[in-house]
Structure 1
């Protein structure tokens, strides 16, 4: 019995070591707008949704080391992120700058809020067909330059139908934003068929969550049609980060 106990103990130790080795290290580049950037938060470096997403992921026992880069830019649309421009070049520079080249590279993409505006941001309003073509162009280039990478499309989040700051959104914009979602899902499905295990739909829950909890988790902002809700506050950024973190973890686990 003594020898049996020793053998079992050794096997447990070996199994634990193997499990430890298999924990994936992950590098994440977040692509997005002011919501991703966290421009209205006091310390975006630690409070913006990408930072809170990574903080949540680092608490998970099934993941290894995790590094990230926040490439969110206030006011930017899919047109601003198209390949060939300075913004896309910075995204690629961020991906290349990670020290651990063997880690799984993930691009978490949350674009569409500014595309949906009636006017104001670059190119707005961006039609659903043009929006999804832009997303495809960005995705194709990322996959061409980083063929082992994973790209995750996060669903955009809700904003109030009276949103009108320097740009005009309103109900027309919100409806347009919602029309982007099924096209994102279809695009991910097309990639899944043509190039499996590289493009996924990430979070689908945050839109409804913020619609229900906007008075406590979005910032009340003064606009041209009254108080509107668009950007997460500190609490909301934690919630959104957890939605994104869970989505990224799910995708990473499905690939290991």
Structure 2
């Protein structure tokens, strides 16, 4: 009798654990962005998306987390518009995920750094209203292709006002980033009442963090106007991934 009771007490927690595991959600995340999303070593070795996935898996909230990195150096919102090759690559990654109907599909977008440039990247400088329109076109195409998906738009992160490499950014570009943040706010508010197209505010905090930690979390790069800060280093990639993961946690559960 005593042995049977011991076995029962052992079995009950085991059964409860098995039910909990079955209830956990699987999530698939496609990250869309430029060289900052691509990371220190694109695509899977060292990147914010990879670290975001690891952070989420470590929370023991989800049964499985899979990520696809679609960050492309130098790209703007125009490069990711429907019909462009970059959007086709996003779809190819998402199609593989979407086949699993038991998993939630989330798109995490951070674009704007190259849009804000004075010259160089495709379409730069992109006017704030056009930037919002481009993000809307990308999101709407994703909603149409993947009913039930969620789209999250993150604020672009800070860069130094002397940033100048093969493209020109400088203070003018940084001021445009501030306008882009307002455009993202407007776009998210537009979708707030639409239950069929679930567009969410992503991370807003990384901008200020990187502004305050430029010398420790960015790679110093040499330009015509001295050392500038544009791309996170490996530590910065980990930090940015954590910011994104925390924003994903808010919308995924």
The TM-score normalised by the length of structure 2 is 0.92
Distance (whole Å) between structure 2 residues aligned to residue 202 and residue 139 of structure 1 = 13
**Would the aligned equivalents of 2:148 and 2:196 in 1 still touch at CA under 8 Å?**
no
**Would the aligned equivalents of 1:46 and 1:52 in 2 still touch at CA under 8 Å?**
no
Count of residue pairs the alignment pairs up: 250
Answering whether residue 23 of structure 2 is matched by residue 22 of structure 1, we say yes
Match of 2:63 in 1: 64
Match of 2:213 in 1: 213
Matches within 5 A, 1:19-58: 19-38=20-39, 41-42=40-41, 44-58=43-57
Distance (whole Å) between structure 1 residues aligned to residue 178 and residue 215 of structure 2 = 21
Distance (whole Å) between structure 2 residues aligned to residue 144 and residue 109 of structure 1 = 17
Distance (whole Å) between structure 1 residues aligned to residue 24 and residue 184 of structure 2 = 30
Q: Quick one: structure 1 residues 36 and 43, their matched pair in 2 at CA, closer, same or farther if it must change by over 3 Å?
A: closer
1:224 Cα deviation from its structure 2 partner: 1.4
The TM-score normalised by the length of structure 1 is 0.91
**Secondary structure in 2 aligned to 1:222?**
strand
Matches within 5 A, 1:148-227: 148-195=148-195, 198-227=198-227
Q: Quick one: structure 1 residues 9 and 196, their matched pair in 2 at CA, closer, same or farther if it must change by over 3 Å?
A: farther
Distance (whole Å) between structure 2 residues aligned to residue 156 and residue 123 of structure 1 = 17
Match of 1:81 in 2: 80
Gaps of 5+ in 1: none
Gaps of 5+ in 2: none
Distance (whole Å) between structure 1 residues aligned to residue 248 and residue 153 of structure 2 = 10
Match of 2:120 in 1: 120
